[in-house]
Amino acid sequence: MLKFLKISTALVLLGSPALAENFGLGRVALPEEIAAWDLDVRPDGTGLPAGSGDVLTGEEVFADKCAVCHGDFAEGVDNWPKLAGGADTLADEDPLKTVGSYWPYLSTTWDYVNRSMPFGDAQSLAPDEVYAIVAYILYSNDLVDEEFVLSDETFADFEMPNADGFILDNRLESEHALWVGEPCMENCKTDVSVTMRAMVLDVTPQEEASSTETEEVQVAATEDAPAKEAKVEEVAAIDPELIKAGEKVFKKCKACHQIGENAKNRSGPILTGIVGSAAGQVEGFKYSKPLMAMAEDGLVWDEASLQEFLAKPKAFMKGTKMSFAGLKKDADLAAITAYLGSFPKE
Amino acid sequence: MSKSNPSTSRRAFLKGAAASGAGLAAATAATANTPDPLITEVQPWASGLGDGVDVSPYGLPISFEDDVIRRNVEWLTADTISSINFTPIHALDGTITPQGCAFERHHSGAIELRKEDYRLMINGLVDRPLVFSYADLERFPRENHVYFCECAANTGMEWAGAQLNGAQFTHGMIHNMEYTGVPLRTLLEEAGLDAAGELKDKWIYVEGADASSNGRSIPMEKALDDVLIAFKANGEALRKEHGYPVRLVVPGWEGNMWVKWIRRIEVMDGPVESREETSKYTDVLENGIARKWTWEMDAKSVVTSPSPQAPITHGKGPLVITGLAWSGRGAITRVDVSKDGGMTWETARLAKPGEKMALTRFYLDTDWDGEEMFLQSRAIDETGYVQPTKTQLREVRGLNSIYHNNCIQTWWVRPNGEAENVEVS
């Protein structure tokens, strides 16, 4: 019996769902439709598809599809989640909560990788790839050796180190029981002094004077009028419909790339002005070795080379750290290059 | 010319006033010795013409209010696609949050999903697995309810100490809207629950159509009680960032469970133990053991004005102290306010009697003596629970819970009207 169950109107009807009145709305879900959407995996492995993957295969897939955010050793890049490490730190001043140190069920990792990863290309992994990635994450947490193979058959045998690290919500007993009743209204304490100030830390975002800013931008744009007109002509020569279509395709890129005004390098470089530029030129971005090698050999991103790259990134540039499967449709390739081309160099 | 120039915007006025006291004269026109030109001279807006209708077929707030916006804290997350921003509660009044400035939290970005492309599936332990279109949902009897939605991490940055200087940042992961939708119970009954057998130990698993899916498990008792499949908020369609066209509303429970773009509900014999209910949204205690299934949002309140982003600009005299209170376990019955850091308390006036799982606005109409104040508010809900101090919470939980920080907040208001987020003994 779950502890949160109370006598309520909901419970009164819990035993008698047959009372329900039907509206005859909706239609029956087909088995193929349920199979396509019902992907969740339970702690006992219910819901897992048949398949298997080993640590070494996992290392390759991880380097290819996950390391750009999570690091080669699952240690995490920048502010992106660390998946490994942190064993026995949960009671420390700064606990490190990773798959290895915190997650109670292995099914959660499988389920999440399968359903929602890689970031920006979810549901693109084959079951064997997911098994391999999960095996590698266990390996990077020193929980298995490199011979380890994870499969639907061995899955339920694996117990996570922090499986017993959780209790059910006990606030009603440990807090509510203490914090009820008429509170103190007068002479509740003898002394009040400041023990901590937010100003000392100074981590609050500053409020910009946004109206003033807008004004300044407008002034700048007016002074810059001739340059702006030239840009407009350039864009006008290109098919606006195609650029619009390209903007949609660019959604696949947005998790890692920014373009246009105020664009910043993220896990991928700024793409403003990329069409017609030599490869590997964006300031402050750390490119992969294969890209720098091709750049030294004179690679220029024109429409043809960009389309070849974006159709099959891994084939065009073996070892690229761009974890993107590629665009299958020619129409998408034409659209994305048109869109990228609509952001000329500043 | 009918627009004031930007230097007279409300924000600039507030800043100037708080910094130098220069705003005091302007704000107290009643004591002027010389005639006020705003009255004695014909102003352009009293002589010329304003905008015609349809200048903005769907209107935004007037430009003078352009500082009343959601704000992000960049250092919190790796990327805005999987991040959160904050409702400007310091600048709002009443209880309903306008959709356009209601906080957003996405796990893989706000997607664009047309009503025509929307499908909702109910499967699992049901008599008939069903698929509904958006148009189907509009044919079920629907209800209207006002509920707050608070992220479990609201005030989560304040566990270790006073950190962010503004009610928007310390308490802005909350909004309160009037939802229109169909009770989830109606849809579950349409699919039939005979197949589920005994319902007491059954669960539903809910997930969204976006890449994150944000799946959560909810006990059947809650699912059949007050959960809503909502498609309108504050009278109009949900905004993209709040799950257009359809989201789940789980009254009183942490915002993460209010699945946006909801696409599937599965009736199950146990919880999935998804990423969002194991690795996240679980609360680590001091001994390293974590609480899970901490769904209800406990009673909480905050003074929204005066506060660091809403300083006092008028000097001593009549002052309206106002704020918000709420509880995920029922209605707010009382709010107390302290001006001296918790030594003495006065009971504030509730603008309306508290409503279950909805924001309650409180006011303390007072006469400020111009001296410094340590402003606090303390909510009490219908269960008799009294909002705790941060010290009380820390004694039970330590510093690493992240979620469910409902401590009493202190603003240190200085004689010049400026306020700062502090902790007091």
Chain A 256-315, CB below 8 Å of chain B: which residues? 266
B20 falls in which pLDDT band (50, 70, 90)? very low
Rounded to an integer, the average pLDDT of B332-345 is 98
- Interatomic CA distance for residues A4 and B293, integer angstroms: 10
Element (H, E) at B229: strand B228-233
* B220 contacts on A by Cβ (under 8 Å): 14
Rounded to an integer, the average pLDDT of A262-270 is 82
A274 bridge partner residues: none
Amino acid in the structure at residue B105: R
* A17 contacts on B by Cβ (under 8 Å): 189, 192-194, 196, 199
Q: Does A199 touch chain B (CB under 8 A)?
A: yes
Give chain B's mean pLDDT. 93
Give chain A's mean pLDDT. 84
pLDDT at A15: 45
Of A39-53, B76-90, B263-277, where does mean pLDDT reach its minimum?
A: B76-90
Rounded to an integer, the average pLDDT of B401-423 is 97
- Interatomic CA distance for residues B24 and B18, integer angstroms: 9
Of A41-50, A76-85, A324-333, B26-35, where does mean pLDDT reach its minimum?
A: B26-35
Q: Do A188 and B7 touch (CB under 8 A)?
A: no
pLDDT at A34: 98
* Complex-level ipTM: 0.91
Q: Which residue has the tokens 């579950």?
A: B188
Select the more confidently predicted residue: A237 or B320. B320
Q: Does B8 touch chain A (CB under 8 A)?
A: no
Q: Does B195 touch chain A (CB under 8 A)?
A: no
Query: Could you tell me if B272 and B124 are in contact, meaning their C-beta atoms sit under 8 angstroms apart?
Result: no
Burial label for A156, CB within 10 Å (0-12, 13-18, 19+), is middle
A21 falls in which pLDDT band (50, 70, 90)? low
pLDDT of B265 > 90? The answer is yes
Tokens of A140: 């990077």
pLDDT of B30 > 70? The answer is no
Sign of CA dihedral A64, B110, B133, A22: positive
Rounded to an integer, the average pLDDT of A191-207 is 87
pLDDT of B336 > 90? The answer is yes
pLDDT of B322 > 50? The answer is yes
Q: Do A204 and B165 touch (CB under 8 A)?
A: yes
| Per-residue H/E/C for A48-111 | CCCCEEEHHHHHHHHHHHCHHHHCCCCCCCCCCCCCCCCCCCCCCCCCCCCCCCCCCCHHHHHH
pLDDT at B29: 54
pLDDT at A238: 67
Using a CB cutoff of 8 Å and minimum separation of 24, what contacts does B34-41 make? none
B28 falls in which pLDDT band (50, 70, 90)? low
pLDDT of B255 > 90? The answer is yes
- Interatomic CA distance for residues A97 and A205, integer angstroms: 27
DSSP code of residue B211 = T
Select the more confidently predicted residue: B370 or B25. B370
DSSP code of residue B166 = S
Neighbours of B16 (CB within 10 A): 16
Q: What is the pLDDT of residues B292-309, one digit of tens each?
A: 999 999 999 999 999 999
Phi, psi torsion values for B103, nearest 5 degrees: -55, 155
pLDDT at A285: 84
A224 falls in which pLDDT band (50, 70, 90)? very low
- Interatomic CA distance for residues B187 and A25, integer angstroms: 9
- Residue A333, SS3 per DSSP: helix
